[in-house]
Structure 1
Amino acid sequence: MTSQEAGLPATAEGRAPLRPSPARRPGEGAERVEVLDAPGALAAAARLAAEFAAGAVSRDRERILPFEQLDRLAAGGLLAITVPRAFGGPGLPASVVAEVVRRISWADPSIGQIPLSHFVYVNQLRLQGSPEQQERLFGEVLAGRWFGNAQSELGTRHVRDFRTTLTRDARGREWRLNGTKFYCTGALFADWIPVLAHLGPDGPMHVAWVRRDAEGVSVVDDWDAVGQRTTASGTATFTDVVVGEEWITDYAEVFTGPTTYGSFAQLIHAAIDTGIARAALDDAAAFVTTKSRPYPDAVAIHGIDRAAQDPVVVHAFGEMELAVRGTEALLAEAGRAVDTADGGLSAESAAAAALAVAAARASSTRVSVEVGSRLLEVAGTRAALSAEGLDRHWRNARTHTLHDPAAWKLQHLGRWAVERQLPPRHGQL
């Protein structure tokens, strides 16, 4: 199916060519990964972030998909950090996952975003999988394999409206999966693709777990966005894909009672934006101290010889530092709130987590976009040159923060502040 047939815009002229799936087939060459404790996970994230940052500008400019970097994440055990202890994993809490993602996103937010759905669907499996499903799929993660996603669709009434369907085959013993998904971040790189679908024509939502190399599965890199250019968040098509009963988990049931399912996902989104904001500020500081020229009035009035000594520039950096520290603090608070709710789930604790995450997400949206833009203001004209790559911070922030409207986070915070109204239960809060 072409992009036009799928209802997608035509490929932009001059864009980098589409890249095929990686040479490694799903499940090949994987070995059991190291089980990391919290300090080990954070140290590994910091180490890999330093390595990934070195190539971030060229990957963005040339649209080089990060297959190698993602393999490093998986092989190093970072994608297995939420596998429950009962199944051989470390079962690290949401706050640690958020900090791992923040550190990786500081280096390259495309690499930070791609595993988001992996962590979300490990969580879905933890909540809704049968013991047999958990044993098998958690074992896959501990062997270095990982999950993508096929959730959102283009052209439906709203973002939580889906057409993809699981229907019984003629014999009634297997299901057939049919549908087309978009924004399938992670699917191109993954071993397994969890697919959100109706069970029957109008049935409740379930997750079909299919291998990326299964017959009838097509994953196309037709993602062509302003920012987050290397997430390959394009189209996945499923045509009469055979799905056994043992590879289906309930989805709708997650939201029938108190849950942190949506809060966990949104916490990771906030971590991505927070990483972008800190990286933008760090790169702005490095540029101003090494490449920017002082403004003539600052030289004449204050007798300075470096742009970094300009009081106007220093004041701007102070404002940006304050904003970034604020969103980092809100992210940490939100992580603790999700941890607390997971340790004692109730309507009150789940709501507290949702509201804390909403605050972090609203703040990280505003701050990442503002700092990504303002860094060009303080760094000067040279900073706008494509060769410097500083524009990627704003482009990445502006693109990723469109995922969920921050205005609705403020709505739910406002309803709580005014009338103590609990937020709704769904996957986007």
Structure 2
Amino acid sequence: MTVAAPPRHTADSAVAAAAELAERFAEESVLRDRERRLPVAEVEALSASGLLAITVPVAYGGPGLGAEVLTEVVRLVATGDPNIAQIPHSHYVYVNALVEQGTEEQKSFLLGEVLAGKRFGNAQSEVKSAHVRDHATTLRADPDRPGGWVLDGEKGYATGAYLAHWIPVLAHQGEGGPLAVAWVEREAPGVTVIDDWDGLGQRTTASGTVRLDGVRVAGDRVTPYHLTFERPQVYGAFAQLLHAAIDAGIARAAVREAAAFVTTRSRPYPDALALYDTGGAAGDPLVVQAFGEVELQVRAAEALLAEAGRAVDRARGGLTAATAAEASLAVAAARAATTAASLESSSRLFEVSGTRSALRGLDLDRHWRNARTHTLHDPAAWKVHHLGRFAIDGTPPPNHGQI
């Protein structure tokens, strides 16, 4: 049976498709969280929608949509279920890595896989390393195949790998050599993906372990990684931007669910009934004030997020050290704002909804657990620090993948 290729989107159709999927994903988000049920069918729907291919350049058969559109797509999907929005995060990042550093043959083949609905995962972080940019995993020359490599190592927090078709693995090319990306098929001999993620939030991202035992990698399935940071780049800003979009989606979902709860299930506080003709909890002036404060914070975060997407697109259109720094700072501001907004909205949800909102069966705490877990990905305090340094004396942010 021939499988139909996913649709090729315009900016408007991509946003519309994301909004439609978000509604669908929200329907059983509580059950998936409560039962830790991986969103296998939902991720397949995401592939079938064509949204995983929207950043493939026009030259390689894709629509070539920019960071601003992708940011809104990810944010919308996250309002339905931020776990599903996080799973393809590395997919988009490694599509970007491939476009920047791949050969024509590599781009033609692997981007063709994306256009056919295939998914990239990631095997990047190492749990036992000294810090996030420290890697022990190494590509060693294959003694049996000239030009080939053998890959050994263990990666953690490998979001997307469990449900991927291809796993880009970050490794040193040769003992102590430069960092490279090895493109490994999910089912290749020696690849083991373990669903052992046990976080308090983002429970269904399958962000587990990838073990690589003597995995053979052809020479034409390796792309350089270190070169990305030897010139001005927005590779890091792009990755951070998508994290911010996930947090913004969590924040908006928390506000919406709190509003639905207050208007349908909350009881008014007696003092509000005595002093005002409220007509219910939703008319309590203190509740309305709290909603207004949270809505203001979430709207500000969403505005900074949208501007950050535009800044990344502007920098790509004319990449210099100055435009790259401006994009990184815009994303840093968005990342700090969405971190605060997601944590605040998911916490104050209970303040405005009252005691019964704490019932375990409602699972309203998933918004806070998701926010608290996902916002730990990179410290927001360092985003603020770099913004402060720039504001004081114009010091640009560092040229690496975390900002």
TM-score, normalization by structure 2: 0.98
Is structure 2 residue 231 aligned with structure 1 residue 260?
no
Is structure 2 residue 289 aligned with structure 1 residue 315?
yes
Residue 30 (structure 1) shift = 5.2
Match of 1:4 in 2: none
1:277-316 matches, within 5 Å, as 277-316=251-290
Match of 1:153 in 2: 126
Measured in 2, the distance between the counterparts of 1:331 and 1:85 equals 25
Residue 64 (structure 1) shift = 0.8
Is structure 2 residue 379 aligned with structure 1 residue 391?
no
Measured in 1, the distance between the counterparts of 2:93 and 2:38 equals 22
Residue 152 (structure 1) shift = 0.3
Residue 32 (structure 1) shift = 2.3
Find the residue that maps to 1:240 and give its secondary structure: strand
1:243-392 matches, within 5 Å, as 243-392=217-366
Measured in 1, the distance between the counterparts of 2:83 and 2:345 equals 18
Question: Residue type matched to 2:104 in 1?
Answer: P
Is structure 2 residue 171 aligned with structure 1 residue 211?
no
Match of 1:237 in 2: 211
Measured in 1, the distance between the counterparts of 2:279 and 2:393 equals 55
Is structure 2 residue 70 aligned with structure 1 residue 97?
yes
Per-residue deviation, residues 206-264 of structure 1 (Å, max 9, x unmatched): 00000000000000000000000000001000000000110000000001011110000
Decide whether the 8 Å contact of 1:180 with 1:237 is kept in 2: yes
Find the residue that maps to 1:224 and give its secondary structure: coil
Question: Residue type matched to 2:196 in 1?
Answer: D
Measured in 2, the distance between the counterparts of 1:89 and 1:212 equals 24
Measured in 2, the distance between the counterparts of 1:403 and 1:276 equals 15
Residue 29 (structure 1) shift = 7.5
Match of 1:119 in 2: 92
Question: Residue type matched to 1:69 in 2?
Answer: E
Question: Residue type matched to 2:40 in 1?
Answer: F
Per-residue deviation, residues 272-319 of structure 1 (Å, max 9, x unmatched): 000000000000000000000011111112243300111110100000
Question: Residue type matched to 1:273 in 2?
Answer: D
Unpaired segments ≥5 residues, structure 1: 1-27
Question: Residue type matched to 1:232 in 2?
Answer: A
Match of 1:39 in 2: 12
Match of 1:11 in 2: none
Decide whether the 8 Å contact of 1:30 with 1:145 is kept in 2: no
Per-residue deviation, residues 316-355 of structure 1 (Å, max 9, x unmatched): 0000000000000000000000010011111111000000
Counterpart selection for 2:55 from 82, 90, 95 = 82
Residue 31 (structure 1) shift = 4.2
Decide whether the 8 Å contact of 1:225 with 1:399 is kept in 2: yes
Question: Residue type matched to 2:16 in 1?
Answer: A
CA RMSD of aligned residues (A): 1.0
Q: Which moved more, 1:94-103 or 1:298-307?
A: 298-307
Measured in 2, the distance between the counterparts of 1:341 and 1:385 equals 47
Taking a change above 3 Å as real, the CA distance of residues 237 and 31 of structure 1, as seen in their structure-2 partners, is farther
Decide whether the 8 Å contact of 1:30 with 1:144 is kept in 2: no
Residue 173 (structure 1) shift = 3.0
Is structure 2 residue 25 aligned with structure 1 residue 52?
yes
Per-residue deviation, residues 98-132 of structure 1 (Å, max 9, x unmatched): 00000000000000000000000000000000000
Measured in 2, the distance between the counterparts of 1:148 and 1:378 equals 39
Counterpart selection for 1:135 from 108, 112, 124 = 108
Measured in 2, the distance between the counterparts of 1:29 and 1:174 equals 34
Per-residue deviation, residues 139-159 of structure 1 (Å, max 9, x unmatched): 000111110000001121111
Question: Residue type matched to 1:56 in 2?
Answer: S
Per-residue deviation, residues 20-55 of structure 1 (Å, max 9, x unmatched): xxxxxxxx9754221111111011001111111111
Decide whether the 8 Å contact of 1:31 with 1:144 is kept in 2: no
Counterpart selection for 1:61 from 27, 34, 48 = 34
Return structure 1 stretches of 4+ with deviation > 3 angstroms: 28-31
Measured in 2, the distance between the counterparts of 1:117 and 1:37 equals 22
Find the residue that maps to 1:257 and give its secondary structure: coil
Question: Residue type matched to 2:34 in 1?
Answer: R
Measured in 1, the distance between the counterparts of 2:378 and 2:155 equals 18
Decide whether the 8 Å contact of 1:164 with 1:198 is kept in 2: yes
Question: Residue type matched to 1:48 in 2?
Answer: L
Q: Which moved more, 1:304-313 or 1:322-331?
A: 304-313
Match of 1:13 in 2: none
Decide whether the 8 Å contact of 1:175 with 1:243 is kept in 2: yes
TM-score, normalization by structure 1: 0.93
Decide whether the 8 Å contact of 1:258 with 1:345 is kept in 2: yes
Aligned residues: 402
Q: Which moved more, 1:268-277 or 1:381-390?
A: 381-390
Counterpart selection for 1:405 from 361, 379, 401 = 379
